[in-house]
C-alpha cells in the first residue's frame, strides 16, 4: 500500500513541480557576462553591492564562463 506521502507526489502536479522544477535564474547569460565584465572594470565589492549578488555566485559564474563559455552561463547548475 502506498504511503500518504507517495500518493501526494503521484496525485498532485503542484507537489511534483515543487520537487522537479529549479529556481529560474534572475539574470540571463548575457547579463551575467556583463556583470562579470563589470567586476573586471570596477572590482567585485562594488558589483556585489550594486546587484546584491554574493561573491560565491560571481565565482561560480566566472568558473562556468572560463571552462564552458556562454553555454555555461545559460543554465542554472545550482538551485
Regions in the chain scoring below 70 on pLDDT:
1-24, 76-79
Tell me how many domains the chain contains: 1
Residue 20: the pLDDT is 36
pLDDT for the residue numbered 22: 55
Helix (H) or strand (E) holding 67: helix 55-68
Domain contains 50? yes
Say if 16 falls within a structural domain. Answer: no
Query: HEC profile for 3-66?
Result: CHHHHHHHHCHHHHHHHHCCCCCCCCHHHHHHHHHHHHHHCHHHHHHHHCCCHHHHHHHHHHHH
> What pLDDT, on a 0 to 100 scale, did the predictor assign at position 5?
43
The reported pLDDT for the residue numbered 12 is: 43
pLDDT of residue 75: 72
Question: Does residue 57 lie within any of the structural domains?
Answer: yes
On whether residue 35 sits in a domain, the answer given is yes
Does residue 13 fall inside a structural domain?
no
pTM: 0.65
Q: Which domain holds residue 52?
A: 24-79
Cα–Cα distance for residue pair 68/34, rounded to 1 Å: 16
Amino acid at each position: 500500500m502506498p504511503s500518504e506521502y507517495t500518493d501526494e507526489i503521484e496525485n498532485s502536479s503542484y507537489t511534483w513541480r515543487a520537487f522537479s522544477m529549479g529556481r529560474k535564474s534572475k539574470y540571463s547569460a548575457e547579463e551575467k557576462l556583463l556583470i562579470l565584465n563589470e567586476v573586471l572594470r570596477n572590482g567585485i565589492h562594488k558589483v556585489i553591492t550594486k546587484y546584491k549578488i554574493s561573491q560565491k555566485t560571481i565565482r561560480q559564474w566566472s568558473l562556468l564562463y572560463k571552462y564552458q563559455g556562454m553555454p555555461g552561463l545559460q543554465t542554472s547548475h545550482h538551485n
